[in-house]
Amino acid sequence: MDATEYQSAAADTAVHPDGDEAILYLALGLAGEAGEVADLVKKWRRGHSATGELDDAKLDNVPEEVGDVIWYAARLCDELGYDFDDVLENNIAKLTDRQDTGSLHTHD
């Protein structure tokens, strides 16, 4: 499945308000789902701090939550009239440009 197919399939599963309310709903949903990913990682890291051991089971739901982030992003793009393929391609082009100009650095 490519991004355009995903965007269309996501629209088929959408149950949310229309118009301006949709944009608000989707943006807040995107932030909420990203927060859920962050919370899972926080709990994983907290387990490390308390016991010295990483509890990888805390990360088991990350793919599901990332999927929700992608759904909200695809729906928000759709509501705003953006093609998800274009958004993804433009993002990689921006990051490649930053890499080529030395704006991206690795963290050692």
Residue 60 lies in a domain: yes
What's 15's domain CATH number? 1.10.287.1080
pLDDT score recorded for residue 108 = 61
Query: Distance of CA 103 to CAs 8, 90, 99, 100, 106, Å?
Result: 34, 17, 6, 8, 10
In a domain, 108, yes or no: no
Q: How many domains does the chain have?
A: 1
| Comparison of pLDDT for 47 and 27, the residue scoring more | 27
**Cβ atoms < 10 Å from Cβ of 77:** 20
Token pair belonging to 36: 């859920």
pLDDT per position as a tens digit, 51-102: 667 778 889 999 999 999 999 999 999 999 999 999 999 999 999 999 999 8
- The answer to the question of residue 55 being in a domain is yes
Residue 25: pLDDT over 80: yes
Q: What predicted TM-score, i.e. pTM, was given to this entire model? A: 0.87
Average pLDDT in the chain: 91
Beta strands in the chain (DSSP E): none
- Which DSSP state fits 58? G
What pLDDT score was predicted for residue 105?
76
In a domain, 105, yes or no: no
Contact present, 61 and 41 (Cβ < 8 Å) = no
Domain range for 83 is 3-100
